[in-house]
Structure formats: structure tokens, C-alpha cells
Chain A
Amino acid sequence: AQKVTQAQTEISVVEKEDVTLDCVYETRDTTYYLFWYKQPPSGELVFLIRRNSFDEQNEISGRYSWNFQKSTSSFNFTITASQVVDSAVYFCALPSEKLVFGKGTKLTVNP
């Protein structure tokens, strides 16, 4: 069965701090993808990134970076120099025909 675990329920940081959100997944598939979504207070899920299991290179997009380690089944997300606008719930998801989501990590960035 597919499973995603986000052990951090809530994280609170002060603006400009770096923060890492953890994601551990379980799948029997040999080829798979992983997604991260952001859900701001407005409620609408926003797609952030897709990675496939063949590509373990870290990816950087502005202040966001992702570390995918197949050996530990982890796909962690780091926000550098956090900003108040980063406050949201972040979900890691494992797609098959449907998305299997973790429970999410609520990030609060305080000014």
C-alpha cells in the first residue's frame, strides 16, 4: 500500500530562518513520482513540485529546495530565508491513479 508520513504536525519559525519539512513515503512501485502541495489559509491546494524516482538530484527553485533520497524513502522540502507569506500547510503526496497525501505540516512564519 502507498503511504506518506509527515511527522511534523506544526512548525513555527521567525522570518528569515531556514526551515525543512520532512516527508517519508512507502511504495512497492519501482518507478514512482512524488509531489509537494501548498495549502495557504485560503484553502486552495497549490502544486509546488514533481520528482520522479529516477532523479535523485536536489532541485532548487528560488528559496525552495527539495532533497530526494531513495535510500531512506525521503523527500524533504527546505525553505530558505522564510517569509510570512510562506505560512501554510504543506503536503507531500504519492501519486498513482490517485494522490495519497500525508497529514501535512502547518508552517507558521512569524515576523
Chain B
Amino acid sequence: DTGVSQNPRHKITKRGQNVTFRCDPISEHNRLYWYRQTLGQGPEFLTYFQNEAQLEKSRLLSDRFSAERPKGSFSTLEIQRTEQGDSAMYLCASSRLAGSYNEQFFGPGTRLTVL
């Protein structure tokens, strides 16, 4: 396994701009998750996919956020009209199977700074 990869690793943007992040999960992993982590906090769940279907979205995911996994492989997370409160580390994780016993493998994250 090559691991979960995320791009870009860092993104600095001005308030009001749109940003898009990409996550490439471990191949053959059906589940893909997005989390957000702010300083001094644990990761907080945003959304997850089973193949290309988005199965759950957190209340944290406002209308400005959208996530896709068009072919059941990589995923994108877009934030429109960014706000300073969106500054955080955005983490992607994948797991091979459904079920709470399955380990989620995390990528290195994308650190977003909104000026």
C-alpha cells in the first residue's frame, strides 16, 4: 500500500476565495472519510463515502462545503467563499471495509490558512 495521499499539503488563501483539496485513498479501500482538525483539538468528522455514494454529512459541513468522490476512487473537498474560521487541518482517511472495527488510515492532511 502506498498510503493515503493529500494535495496540496498547505494552502494559503484570502477570505472569500474558493479552495479545493484532493485525497487519494489506499487503492481498493471502499470507505473514504474527511475530518477537520483545529489547533489543540481532535479530528472532527465531516463526511464519508462508500465508493461513490456520500452516506453521511456532519452539521459542521455547511452549505459552503461540498465533497465528491465521482468514480469511487479519489475525492475532492471544496470550500466556497472561505472564512477565517475555516482555517484548520483537513484530514482524509480510508478503510477497506465498513464496520467500526476497521482501522482508518489517515493521510498527512492539508493545512488551510485563510487570511
Q: What residues make up the interface of A, taking CB atoms closer than 8 Å to B?
A: 4, 9, 32-33, 35, 37, 42-47, 50, 52, 91, 93, 95-104
Closest beta carbon of chain B to A30's beta carbon, Å: 13
Q: Mark B6-18, 1 if CB is under 8 A from A, else 0.
A: 0000000000000
13 residue pairs A–B, Cβ–Cβ below 8 Å:
A33-B101, A43-B89, A45-B91, A46-B106, A47-B105, A91-B42, A91-B43, A93-B42, A97-B48, A97-B98, A98-B33, A99-B35, A104-B42
Please tell me if B28 contacts chain A, counting CB pairs below 8 Å: no
Question: Which residues does chain A contribute within 8 Å of B106, judged by CB atoms?
Answer: 37, 44-46
- Is B109's CB within 8 Å of the partner chain A? yes
C-alpha gap A100/B100 in the complex (Å): 11
Chain B residues at the A interface, C-beta cutoff of 8 Å: 33, 35, 40-45, 48, 55-56, 89, 91, 93, 98, 100-109
Task: Report yes or no: A42 in contact with B108, Cβ–Cβ below 8 A.
Answer: yes
B9 and chain A: residue at smallest CB distance: A43
CB <8 Å contact, A99 and B108: no
Given the interface pairs A98-B45, A103-B42, the reply to whether A33 lies near B100 with Cβ below 8 Å is yes
Pair B101/A97 contact, Cβ less than 8 Å: no
Nearest-neighbour CB distance to chain B for A32, whole angstroms, equals 7
Complex A-B, nearest 4 residue pairs according to Cβ-Cβ distance, in ascending order: A101-B42, A45-B106, A95-B100, A98-B45
Are A44 and B107 in contact, CB atoms less than 8 angstroms apart?
Answer: yes
Flag if B107 contacts A50 (CB, 8 Å): no
Residues of chain A contacted by B102 (CB below 8 angstroms):
95
Interchain CA distance A37-B93 in the complex, whole Å: 13
B103 touches A47 (CB 8 A): yes
Partner of A44, one of B33, B100, B101, B109: B109
Q: Is the CB of B44 within 8 A of A43?
A: no
Q: Are B108 and A44 in contact (CB under 8 A)?
A: yes
B residues within 8 A CB of A98? 33, 45, 48, 56
CA separation between A80 and B109, bound complex, in Å? 30
Extra contacts, 7 of them, besides A98-B45, A99-B93, A103-B40 (Cβ < 8 A), are A43-B89, A44-B108, A45-B43, A45-B106, A95-B101, A98-B48, A99-B104
